[in-house]
Amino acid sequence: MGKRIVIVGAVALGPKVACRLRRLDPEAEITVVDRDSLISYGGCGIPYYVGGDIPDIEGLCSTSSHALRDPEFFRRSKGVDILPRVEALGIDRQAKKLQVRHLDTGKEESLDYDKLVIATGATPFKPPIPGADFPMVFTVSNLHSARDIKEKISKGQVEKAVVIGAGAIGIEMAEALTDLWGIETTVVEMADQVLPAALGKNMSRIIENQLEKNDVKVMLSEKVEEIVGDPESGVTAVRTGSGTLDCDMVVMSAGVRPNTLFAKESGLACGRSGALLVDRGMRTTDPHIYAGGDCVELRNLVNGENMTMPLGSLANRQGRIIANNIYGRASKFKGTVGTFCIKVFDMAAAKAGLTFAQARDIGYDPVHSLVAQPDRAHFYPASKLMYIHLIADRKTRKILGIEAIGSQGDAVKSRVDSVAPLLQAGIDVDEVCVLETGYAPPFASAMDIINNAGNVLDNILEGKNITMDPVDFIRAFEKNEIQVLDVRDQNEIEPFIKKYGKRWMNIPQAELRDRLDEVPGDRPVCLVCGTGARSYECQVLLSQNGFDNICNVQGGHAMLLATAPKFV
Ligand SMILES: Cc1cc2nc3c(=O)[nH]c(=O)nc-3n(C[C@H](O)[C@H](O)[C@H](O)COP(=O)(O)OP(=O)(O)OC[C@H]3O[C@@H](n4cnc5c(N)ncnc54)[C@H](O)[C@@H]3O)c2cc1C
């Protein structure tokens, strides 16, 4: 008889373990249980199903050759038994038995295992807000809620929606509701920015503008206090700290919590997040029990701390590692740098590593560069501006994180993907300056934007480039704390002079050497140019000539336009 492998959870990690193991070990008896009736689907596609890009739900449950991934498919094609509507209740670790209940019949039984795999994922967190259980309040975690949401929308039952939480799922759902269905959608977020776990302040402003430009209203630093409505007919409004938003649907996307109750009760160790602790072989504190995916803590490879990182990309990779180890082929999953990407209407954002705030909060002294540059050679017709945020530790010059935003998603993702694997190796700023990437005009510039982000950061760390962030610049300008010196040519800046008068001076870079006496020496001067390159050179010139109250705006006018279009 082969090894008896029991797997709990049949969406991402569970089926991956089962299928890989079957390919390695034809003898193993592999049983997968899931309390849900729907199994092995692409949950990451839910927003695109709701938004209409994926017309039928079957698209999320099929293989690339259009075979439906149901229990019959797994039995016949993969030699794996999947039992839907069977819930795991507890583990008798001594006897190596998993207690389960068949949800349709109520029957309980024990499944013997040699190795057990916990792939139970996570459940959306429902903040304890009055009204959270009313009809028409949804979380987005599985195909049932996806189907319900789409059914209500397509029947014309939703004119206004509120999305609670501006993390990745909240933003994807806001786009799905607005883009095809034209639902008036408001995103309410407690933090003072969108994607707070993924992007720095300046970069998040670009995404906020992108949402607003596409008719999604964004409310930041705002707490939902009550969902108004009744238990029969559903919601009518959401009450926040500052007012009431009428709506007929609420989507809650306030993060997730790992599903670990029965595992914890059996004595398996969990971390501070409540997720299971695993070693690099994905073994729990019981050597016969493995776990992976959204229900485990992973090592953050930038700072060595444990964290949860609920990503399907990671769950699938861990599945292969678990199968290898069960088979006896030692494999390791070292951890993650949290590489992530998202589409926001016709823009994309990606990130890896720590944000500036995360780095600061765990004790680094972070320094950052913000760069705006075409994503391919500037003379190539398809080139589009792209924005990079690179974060390093001041003392060690170690790179801690990278973020990218642009309108060509593949270009955005490729920049972050090129740095992500190096983050875990402890790459420093100097290595980013010379990072080797491919070049041809249709794909990149000879000096790639990544290299320039490194160069700018190097200059900042050397104390040569004295910068101000766009968000700080706007605040300081609005408070009348700075004088602007725009070093672009006059024709580029006429609208600013018209709008802001003397507070927005112009001396083109080519004339600055001869007009140093016109530069105010009695108040802080902030230099602006197109993307930050000319203003940096001017700042160096001014510093060499004894001006000591000079800085320049990171990313220049391009970054201001992206972060604060109303200001420019
Ligand atoms: C809307 C949405 C969009 C997403 N987009 C992306 C994306 O673009 N990129 C990305 O990388 N990730 C994305 N994710 C995250 C990704 O889907 C998850 O990280 C991934 O599904 C986790 O896989 P898992 O196998 O660990 O858990 P899950 O996929 O959550 O599966 C766990 C299964 O375990 C079952 N289960 C739980 N407890 C028990 C029990 N006691 N007994 C029996 N069964 C049980 C559950 O019913 C569930 O079916 C998205 C998620 C959502 C919801």
Q: Quick one: which atom of ligand 1 is closest to the CA of 313?
A: 11
| pLDDT tier, 491 (very low <50, low <70, confident <90, very high otherwise) | confident
pLDDT value at 182 more than 90: yes
Which of 50, 173, 311 to mutate for ligand 1's pocket (most ligand atoms within 8 Å of CB)? Answer: 311
In the reported structure, the alpha carbon of residue 219 is separated from the centroid of ligand 1 by a whole-number distance in angstroms of: 28
Q: Once rounded to an integer, what is the mean pLDDT over residues 83-108?
A: 98
**Which H helix or E strand runs over 151?**
helix 143-154
Separation of 354 CA from ligand 1 center, angstroms? 23
What atom of ligand 1 comes closest to residue 261's alpha carbon? 41
CA-proximal residue: ligand 1, atom 39 (nearest) = 120
Q: Give me the amino acid identity at 80.
A: V
Nearest CA to ligand 1 atom 20: 312
Residue 180: the pLDDT is 87
**pLDDT of the residue at 141:** 86
Q: Give distance in angstroms: CA of 174 to centre of ligand 1.
A: 20
Relative to the CA of 122, which ligand 1 atom is closest?
Answer: 30
Separation of alpha carbons 240 and 248, rounded Å = 16
Sheet containing 216-219: order of strands: 137-139, 249-252, 160-164, 184-188, 216-219
Q: Rounded to the nearest whole angstrom, what is the distance from the C-alpha of residue 291 to the centroid of ligand 1?
A: 13
What is the pLDDT, as a whole number, of residue 162?
98
1 pLDDT above the threshold of 80: no
- C-alpha 488 to ligand 1 mean position (Å): 51
Q: Convert the pLDDT of each residue in 241-267 to its tens digit.
A: 999 999 999 999 999 999 999 999 999
**What is the atom index within ligand 1 of the atom nearest the CA of 342?**
8
Identify any residues that bridge with 356 across adjacent strands, giving them in sequence order: none
Average model confidence (pLDDT) for the chain? 96
Q: What is the pLDDT of residue 224?
A: 97
- Range 280-297 burial, b when 16+ CB lie within 10 A, else e: ebbbbebeebbbbbbbbb
Q: Determine the residue of 20, 120, 125, 148 to mutate for testing ligand 1's pocket, defined as the one with the most ligand atoms within 8 A of the Cβ atom.
A: 120
Report how far ligand 1's centroid is from the alpha carbon of 398 (Å): 33
As a whole number of angstroms, the distance between CA 486 and CA 556 comes to 10
Ligand 1 pocket mutation, candidates 294, 307, 309, 322, criterion most atoms within 8 A of CB = 294
Please provide the distance, in angstroms rounded to a whole number, between the alpha carbons at the two ends of the chain.
Answer: 72
Which one from 19, 44, 270, 529 is the annotated catalytic residue?
A: 44
Residue 62 Cα to ligand 1 midpoint, Å, equals: 17
Is 44 labeled as catalytic in the residue annotation?
A: yes
Q: Report which ligand 1 atom has the smallest distance to the Cα of 142.
A: 53
Judge contact between 527 and 538, C-beta under 8 A.
yes
pLDDT at 484 over 80: yes
Q: Which residue stretches of 299-448 are H helix?
A: 312-327, 356-361, 409-423, 429-433
What is the secondary structure of 450-477 as a DSSP string?
A: HHHHHHHHHHHHTT---EE-HHHHHHHH
Atom of ligand 1 nearest to the CA of 146: 1
Reading the block at residue 443, the tokens are 């794909």
What digits encode the pLDDT tens for the residues 207-240? 999 999 999 999 999 999 999 999 998 999 999 9
**Is 134 a residue whose pLDDT tops 90?**
yes
* CA pair distance 558, 556, nearest whole angstrom: 5
Ligand 1: residues whose CB is within 6 Å?
8-14, 33-36, 43-44, 46-47, 87-88, 119-122, 140-141, 169, 259, 262, 293-294, 310-313, 315
- Best mutation site among 17, 31, 35 for ligand 1, i.e. most ligand atoms within 8 A of its Cβ? 35
Distance CA 450, CA 439 (A): 12
Nearest CA to ligand 1 atom 35: 9
* Measured CA angle at 480 (ends 545, 189), to 5 deg: 115
The mean pLDDT value for 516-541 works out to 95
Residue ranges of domains in the chain, CATH in brackets: 4-122+257-327 (3.50.50.60), 137-254 (3.50.50.60), 340-461 (3.50.50.60), 467-563 (3.40.250.10)
- Nearest of 269, 284, 322, 337 to residue 13 by alpha carbon: 322
pLDDT at 567: 86
Nearest CA to ligand 1 atom 51: 44
pLDDT confidence band for 463 (50 / 70 / 90): very high
CA 460 / ligand 1 centre spacing (Å): 42
Q: Give the pLDDT mean for 52-70.
A: 93
Q: What is the pLDDT of residue 492?
A: 85
**pLDDT-derived band of residue 100, with 50, 70 and 90 as boundaries?**
very high
- State how far the Cα of 419 lies from the Cα of 444, in Å rounded to an integer: 15
Identify the residue whose C-alpha is closest to ligand 1 atom 48: 9
In this predicted model, what pLDDT tens digit does every residue of 370-421 receive, in sequence order? 999 999 999 999 999 999 999 999 999 999 999 999 999 999 999 999 999 9
Q: What is the average per-residue pLDDT within 27-54? A: 96
